[in-house]
């Protein structure tokens, strides 16, 4: 069950990867049409203003179509075969679902407690999805319908029908089944979802008034669940879903960013819900403190090697928000150390919120600059300065706490082990059940083309997991190749994966996570190609 949940969470992350660039472009466009920053250039009607308005509206594509992106993303990650066909089936079935709701509400909206004559948007509980006026079920509805279609696809796509019904085989059969399934599902949605919307409204009010305690609990759960892969289920309803504001914090933040940047009122007053998107600060300010602790606790003769390995992973964490290569270096050496890290992350977020810092801060420094600091600086410079000061204080706290705990409990972080080879590999030892993690040198041979390198990596991983016959499922998230194997005893050691450039391996029963890095989509594609060839 855990493996299935992790796989589902990884599939949910597929569309999330698109939001970072879209958010940066929206922010840049808003900044460059702000008269306080660029003067008369930003006057409405000028060529400058018109150009950046076009860019801004194009950048909203991802945010305005989140539901469709999640409908598409799940089959990519969860369909066992013919992923592209599964995507088509999911989109058609999801649109059918919304057309059914549209007609039911047109005919009997009052019976469901819905005033369908209202314009979509606002507090109406209605939304236009692909031009269809329907109930605003958000990404919850999208994920639910897409999951149903993936189930139908995995079970019935390859079903052999009688010859005279052969035209209905494959995708047609899945869509037919989906069509009839959507009738009762749409009817139930019309009955149930308006009441769910009332409940969500109450939940939003509760969370928005939970203050510092709510922010602390949210951020702690988001960090502490990273090893399990379940953190996607924590932040997604807040950042992209309706947990605290309709449409999610990210969409709401960008929709009101122009208003926020022009207002002199405190951002915490304007957008108190923005406290539930401060979890990225631990990546920006925590990573340097942890890296410094690793460096200063390493043996003097090993520090130069440790530094050369820490610099790239720390920069990756700070700039892009991808923390796994750094966190997995110490996670399985000492799980309590990771728990302390989660506590510090939550405390940083809660402290920032106490001092009035809010926004959309789930990524690294690039997102922090482009989506928060620069757009609001003209009227909220005090908040930005406060943010930086508190963040740097916590960088020092991370350093002091980690250095003290590493030395106090003699934790074998990189460079402390007498084994020089272990220092070079930056690999952890097995210390927590069957899980292991570490950091290998990032350099790879440049003599081969990128595609050849991905294929070589995939071949090494395929051999390390015991070959094609031992692989049951293949998936990936932002940095990890997620595999389900039939016989864990056939899986090789971490050294076997390290030969392909893996940063570490996480094992739990039949579920295996190979920490590949940001190239994981390309490696996964080559992995699947090799499985077909070997088959």
Catalytic annotation, pick one of 152, 284, 405, 477:
477
> CA 472, CA 183: separation in Å to the nearest integer?
33
> What is the DSSP annotation of 56-102?
HHHHTHHHHTHHHHHHHHHHHHH-SS-HHHHHHHHHHHHHHHHHHHH
Dihedral sign (CA 520, 522, 528, 533): negative
- Kindly tell me the number of DSSP H helices and DSSP E strands found in the chain: 24, 6
d(C-alpha 465, C-alpha 511), whole Å:
11
CA 78/CA 153 separation, integer angstroms: 10
Annotated catalytic, 190?
Answer: no
For residue 473, give the DSSP letter. Answer: E
C-alpha gyration radius of the chain: 25
Q: Rounded to 5 degrees, what angle do the CA atoms 249, 70, 481 make?
A: 100
Alpha-carbon span 208 to 39, nearest angstrom: 36
CA angle, 223 then 479 then 521, to 5°? 145
- CA dihedral sign, ordered 217, 220, 224, 230: positive
Q: Which residues pair with 386 in a beta bridge?
A: none
Q: What are phi and psi for residue 410, nearest 5 degrees?
A: 50, 50
Residues in the chain: 535
Give me the phi and psi of 321, to 5 degrees please. 85, 10
User: Which residue, 234, 231, 239, 68, is CA-closest to 143?
Assistant: 68
Instruction: Count CB atoms within 10 A of the CB of residue 90.
Output: 32
d(CA 129, CA 310): 46
Which positions are catalytic?
477
């Amino acid at each position: 069950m855990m493996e299935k949940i992790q796989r589902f969470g990884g599939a949910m992350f597929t569309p999330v990867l698109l939001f970072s660039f879209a958010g940066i472009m929206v922010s840049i466009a808003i900044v460059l049409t702000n008269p306080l920053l660029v003067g008369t250039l930003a006057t409405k009607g000028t060529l400058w203003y018109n150009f950046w308005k076009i860019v801004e509206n194009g950048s909203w594509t991802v945010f305005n179509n989140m539901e469709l992106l999640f409908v598409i993303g799940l089959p990519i990650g969860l369909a066992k075969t013919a992923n592209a066909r599964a995507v088509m089936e999911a989109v058609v079935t999801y649109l059918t679902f919304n057309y059914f709701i549209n007609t039911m509400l047109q005919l009997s909206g009052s019976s469901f407690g819905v005033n369908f004559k209202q314009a979509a948007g606002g507090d109406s509980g209605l939304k236009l999805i692909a031009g269809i006026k329907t109930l605003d079920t958000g990404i919850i509805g999208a994920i639910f319908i897409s999951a149903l279609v993936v189930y139908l696809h995995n079970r019935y796509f390859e079903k052999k029908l009688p010859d005279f019904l052969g035209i209905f085989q494959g995708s047609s059969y899945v869509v037919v089944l989906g069509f009839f399934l959507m009738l009762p599902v749409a009817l139930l949605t019309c009955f149930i979802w308006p009441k769910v919307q009332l409940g969500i409204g109450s939940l939003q009010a509760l969370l928005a008034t939970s203050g510092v305690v709510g922010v602390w609990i949210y951020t702690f759960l988001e960090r502490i669940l990273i090893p399990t892969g379940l953190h996607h289920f924590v932040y997604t309803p807040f950042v992209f879903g309706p947990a605290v504001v309709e449409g999610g914090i990210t969409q709401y933040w960008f929709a009101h960013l122009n208003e926020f940047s022009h207002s002199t009122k405190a951002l915490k007053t304007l957008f108190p819900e923005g406290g539930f998107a401060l979890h990225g600060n631990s990546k920006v300010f925590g990573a340097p403190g942890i890296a410094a602790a690793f460096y200063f606790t390493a043996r003097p003769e090993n520090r130069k090697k440790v530094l050369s390995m820490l610099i790239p992973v720390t920069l990756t964490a700070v700039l892009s928000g991808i923390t796994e290569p750094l966190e997995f270096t110490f996670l399985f050496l000492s799980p309590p150390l990771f728990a302390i890290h989660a506590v510090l992350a939550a405390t940083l977020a809660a402290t920032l919120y106490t001092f009035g810092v809010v926004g959309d801060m789930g990524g690294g420094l690039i997102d922090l600059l482009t989506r928060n600091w620069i757009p609001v600086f003209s009227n909220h410079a005090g908040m930005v300065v406060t943010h930086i000061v508190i963040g740097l204080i916590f960088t020092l706290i991370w350093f002091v706490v980690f250095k003290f705990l590493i030395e106090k409990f003699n934790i074998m972080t990189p460079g402390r082990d007498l084994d020089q080879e272990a220092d070079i590999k930056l690999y952890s030892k097995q210390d927590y059940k069957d899980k292991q993690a570490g950091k290998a040198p990032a350099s790879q041979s440049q003599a081969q083309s990128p595609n050849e390198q991905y294929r070589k990596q995939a071949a090494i991983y395929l051999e390390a997991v015991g070959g094609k016959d031992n692989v049951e499922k293949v998936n990936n998230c932002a940095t990890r190749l997620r595999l389900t194997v039939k016989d864990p005893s056939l899986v090789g050691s971490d050294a076997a994966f390290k030969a392909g450039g893996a940063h570490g391996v996480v094992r739990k029963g039949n579920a295996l996570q190979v920490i590949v890095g940001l190239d994981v989509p390309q490696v996964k594609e080559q992995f699947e190609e090799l499985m077909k060839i070997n088959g």
